[in-house]
Chain A
Amino acid sequence: MPRPVVMPKLGQSEEEGTLVRWLKKEGDGVAKGDVLFEIETDKALLEVESFFEGILLKIVVPEGQTVPVQTTVAFIGDPGEAVPEITVPAAKPGKGEGPRASAKVSEHPPVAAAGGEAQARAGRRIARERVPRPQERPSPPPAHPEAPSIFKISPRAARLAEECAVDPKVIVGTGPGGRIVEKDVSSYLDTKGYAHLRVTPTAKNLARKEGIDLFNLQPSDDGGRIGVADIETALAERPKPMGRMRRVIAQRLAESFRSAPHFFVTVSADLTELDSFRKELKSKGVSYTVTDFILKAVAATLEGFPAVNSTTDGEKIWWHSRIDLGLAVALEQGLVVPVLRNANKLTLADIHEQATELTARARAGKLTPGEMTGSTFTISNMGMLDVENFTAIINPGESAILAVSSLAKHPVVRDDRVVIRSLMKMTLSSDHRIIDGALAARFLNAIRNKLEEISLWRRLV
């Protein structure tokens, strides 16, 4: 009998997961421990490994859908085995589906094979599928959450609209209670000039299948005919639900930018000497990144600026005694902020080691939620991306963020002579509710002074 693969429960609070990508196709052979699919939570991208061996018989939940934990997402079994019928109440794309809408998948009672071993691995970072005990059958999915009650249409009218690939929602109904009847659809088609619409047979098939309204399309063909390419364009333009990570970023940063009045102060740090010192160290086999020096300089500076290492709700201010530095790391699907705990207590070598390790795991999507929460100040470094200057949005719960740009050579006036120096711009975004301009300037200059004081670094290394 085919065995169901379920959406794993990843943490205490996780109720649903988004299936981001299938790494196996239907019909593929699967060995124990093979990565089957990737899921996304609000913090990370995780790989789910197979606990079974066999053939991936059927994929129930397609890529991009969000489903409750424990939902059956696929079946694994022997070649040719029949797969139990499982209904996915059509999460019809484009039909009033909000960004948070999640397709519900009805549950098939899975066999309780080897549940113990699966659960033993529950705490691992790489989630493995877990077979629930028979008694914890989830409650049935709610009856069709779709179709608002105001929209009424007769079956014949619905069929005509569907056949013609037009959206009936925009048609005004003349039946009882505004119900749309067949006559309404046909007169709508006449008024809009459906008969003059030229559509290739395949394009019409595809539009029907995908629920695309032909009246919304512009033909790209020389002859004014709607073709497959036009439907594909419309499909590509369709709104797509944001990934969990994107949604969290959107919500948190919008909230931060709304509630914290941001202002920005920029300085240029002259890193000529520090950079040649860094290269000198590198030639001796000791490698540090520019980020390491910045982290160290910021952590040390924050000790003298408790207001910059604080949180406010607009009425009270909390000064943090710990200095936990967040370091923004860009990923393909968004960004994450791993945290360097007690950064002011760490040596430069510790900082280098921890930052390297956290960044690598962040890029691999393997950070735990705990490693991404609780920072007190954040640094966003775009130095690798060849930028002159930029501003960052404050991480919610903090009072400032430092945006670090690329190190580049500039002509600089020194002792009334133009010389070439390596400069790096840093812009501090501050929450004006806590930090005033003068404080921001002092804080930023203190960081700059540290970075420029080469004797300090010679001592610290």
Chain B
Amino acid sequence: MEAFGVVVIGAGPGGYPAAIRAAQLGASVALVEKEDLGGTCLNWGCIPTKCLISSSDLYARVKSAGTMGLKVEGASFDYAAMSDRKDQVVRTLRNGVKQLLKANVVKVFQGTASFQGRNRILVSPEAASAASSSEPVVIGADKTIIATGTSSAMPAFLPRHARVLESRAFLSLKSLPSSVLVLGGGVIGCEFACMLGQLGARVTVVELLEDILWGLDADVRRELRRHMEKTLGVRILTGGTLEDVSADERRVRGRVGTEWVEADVLLAAFGRKSTAEQLQLENAGLGVDERGFIAVDEYGRTQVATIYAVGDVTGGPFLAHAATSQGLVAAENACRRHLRRNETCVASCIFTSPEIGTVGLSEQEAQHQGRKIKTGKFMLGALGKALAIGEPMGFVKWVADAETDQLLGAHAIGPHATGLIAEAAVAIRAELTAAELARTVHAHPTLAEAWMEAAHALRDEPIHTIPERTRAKAGDQ
């Protein structure tokens, strides 16, 4: 039996960086992957969707180029070519991961891992690729890092039909459906809805909760919803379930309340389910929680001393960068004595149109915690750079503690909001006060100036907006 210091199960954004770091720290490392290197993020999630969104976004901008004084006539798109470009990007990145693993002397096993004991892992080749990769093997693991992630869930009430797809299957479509029913107004649902809307598809979003992107700061939700409905013509139905779903050769149909909605394709975009059950954790003395996830502490440790778990399989926040951070911490803890804690300040980015970036507490969360807070907002429509690039939409917003002036949360919606949020994440992690941020000189003319302006506004000293007395908002209001 071949034995390793560290065995990482799953080569997604949590697993492969963990394998690289463990190898850098001198461990002999094996990485087990049942599908493609890079996991969901690289192959069927973040990266391919961002490729399509970049294309659709550029198309939307070309179509509106007239407002910038450009003459572009007959702009059109080839969805198959867009999809091919996406595949090319994915292949490039996947190859990059392969090279990195090779350079760091990480041995990759192709197959599905399951525990035989806490230090023995069985790797069974997938049936499809059995021809190439021979027999199942058992490898020994001094330490194990579980990073198997989640898979997209296909709810039971939906018919099994070629017109009913989850996100991964949707990404392999080679032609654009003319109408799409998006079930679920979360991050995945909203990103697809915006992309399809920009390409001219008729989109209807059905969300069970009271609003799309529930949990986001209410101001941000309102702004996004307005853009999706007014600018992109997306229909959004919230607070109701999609029932009586049926599909035939021509269309998919369903009922929301008393209204019937139909489309070429239904995209199921809600929830992701744990992949822990296939690991046979019980053989290692490990269990899962009631939702099927593996419980870990802030050092990435499970209840079994030699086993760590990172990323989605630990039950959220379902973000690739959180998984990577946790993967690095787990690798260090598996290889060294001294422990490192996971970062808790994690920004979240949503590639809708307009984009959204958020980190820390929303106004509602802070109030719910009973904190006395104050907020400061700056509309990008008042910012020179936003006007110059022809995207004067959205805002940035700070949430700060009314007593200590600590920056607690930041929310941005508008052009490049996903990049803008990085500054806010640094500020919040460093426990900066609103005063410190306001005093930090921001270069002009940039979009990032908005953070400084919003910090001024929070302190009731706005420069480029009409002063509006921001009252300290008590947590119970």
Mark A residues whose CB is within 8 Å of B.
25-27, 200-203, 205-206, 209, 222, 227-228
Contacts and interface: CB of A to CB of B under 8 A. Distances in A.
B405 interface: yes
Contacts of B435: 201
Contact of A200 (B401, B432, B477): B432
Contacts of A209: 403-404
30 contacts: A25-B476, A26-B474, A27-B474, A27-B476, A27-B477, A200-B430, A200-B432, A201-B430, A201-B431, A201-B433, A201-B435, A201-B436, A202-B401, A202-B404, A202-B405, A202-B406, A202-B431, A202-B432, A202-B433, A203-B431, A205-B404, A205-B405, A205-B406, A206-B404, A206-B406, A209-B403, A209-B404, A222-B340, A228-B404, A228-B431
A228 B404 CA distance: 10
Contacts of A25: 476
Nearest to B477: A27
Interface in B374-413: 401, 403-407
A295 to B, nearest CB: 45
Given A25-B476, A201-B430, 14 more contacts: A27-B474, A27-B477, A201-B435, A201-B436, A202-B406, A202-B407, A205-B405, A205-B406, A205-B433, A209-B403, A209-B404, A222-B340, A222-B341, A228-B406
Given A202-B404, A205-B404, A227 B474 contact: no
Nearest to A231: B404
Nearest to B370: A25
Contacts of A26: 474
A389 B139 CA distance: 53
Query: Could you say which interface size class chain B belongs to?
Result: 10 to 19
Interface string B422-443: 0000000011110110000000
Contacts of B341: 222
B330 to A, nearest CB: 15
Q: Chain B binding site: helix, strand, loop or mixed by DSSP?
A: loop
A222 B404 CA distance: 23
9 shortest A-B CB distances, which residue pairs?
A200-B431, A202-B406, A202-B431, A201-B433, A205-B404, A201-B436, A206-B404, A202-B404, A201-B432
A203 B407 CA distance: 12
B398 to A, nearest CB: 13
A228 B408 CA distance: 12
Nearest to B407: A202
B325 to A, nearest CB: 13
Interface of B: 340-341, 401, 403-407, 430-433, 435-436, 474, 476-477
Nearest to B475: A25
A207 to B, nearest CB: 10
A222 B431 CA distance: 15
Contacts of A206: 404, 406
Contacts of B407: 202
A417 B401 CA distance: 72
Nearest to B437: A201
Contacts of B405: 202, 205
A206 B405 CA distance: 9
Contacts of A205: 404-406, 433
B381 to A, nearest CB: 30
A377 to B, nearest CB: 48
A144 to B, nearest CB: 25
A212 B404 CA distance: 14
A209 B430 CA distance: 19
Contacts, number: 37
Contact of A227 (B431, B433, B436): B431
Pick from A27, A205, A227 the residue with the most CB of B within 10 Å.
A205
Nearest to A28: B476
B371 to A, nearest CB: 12
A27 B406 CA distance: 25
Most chain B beta-carbon contacts within 10 A, residue among A27, A200, A202, A205: A202
Contacts of B433: 201-202, 205
A203 B404 CA distance: 8
A201 B405 CA distance: 9
Nearest to B427: A201
A227 B431 CA distance: 7
A227 B428 CA distance: 12
Contacts of A201: 430-433, 435-436
A25 B370 CA distance: 11
A122 to B, nearest CB: 33
A271 B246 CA distance: 70
A167 to B, nearest CB: 20
B164 to A, nearest CB: 48
B182 to A, nearest CB: 41
A27 B20 CA distance: 56
A416 to B, nearest CB: 46
Nearest to A227: B431
Nearest to B406: A202
A222 B338 CA distance: 11
Contacts of B432: 200-202
Contacts of A227: 431
Contacts of A203: 431
Nearest to A226: B431
A195 to B, nearest CB: 18
Nearest to A199: B431
Nearest to B343: A222
Nearest to B408: A202
Looking at B401, B403, B404, the one whose CB has the most chain A CB atoms below 10 A away is: B404
Contacts of B476: 25, 27
B101 to A, nearest CB: 27
B461 to A, nearest CB: 18
B218 to A, nearest CB: 21
A228 B476 CA distance: 23
A27 B372 CA distance: 14
Nearest to B474: A27
A22 B32 CA distance: 57
Contacts of B477: 27
A206 B407 CA distance: 13
Contacts of A200: 430-432
Nearest to A26: B474
Which of B341, B431, B477 is most buried by chain A, counting CB atoms within 10 A of its CB? B431
Nearest to A208: B404
B38 to A, nearest CB: 29
Nearest to B433: A201
A21 to B, nearest CB: 15
B262 to A, nearest CB: 50
B336 to A, nearest CB: 13
A25 B474 CA distance: 11
A288 B477 CA distance: 50
A114 B177 CA distance: 76
A6 to B, nearest CB: 25
B8 to A, nearest CB: 23
Contacts of A202: 401, 404-407, 431-433
A27 B433 CA distance: 28
Nearest to A207: B404
Contacts of B340: 222
Contacts of A228: 404, 406, 431
B474 to A, nearest CB: 7
A209 B401 CA distance: 13
Nearest to A221: B341
A202 B371 CA distance: 15
A124 B61 CA distance: 76
Nearest to B435: A201
Nearest to B340: A222
A222 B341 CA distance: 8
A415 to B, nearest CB: 48
A28 to B, nearest CB: 8
A232 to B, nearest CB: 11
A376 to B, nearest CB: 49
B329 to A, nearest CB: 10
Contacts of B430: 200-201
A149 to B, nearest CB: 33
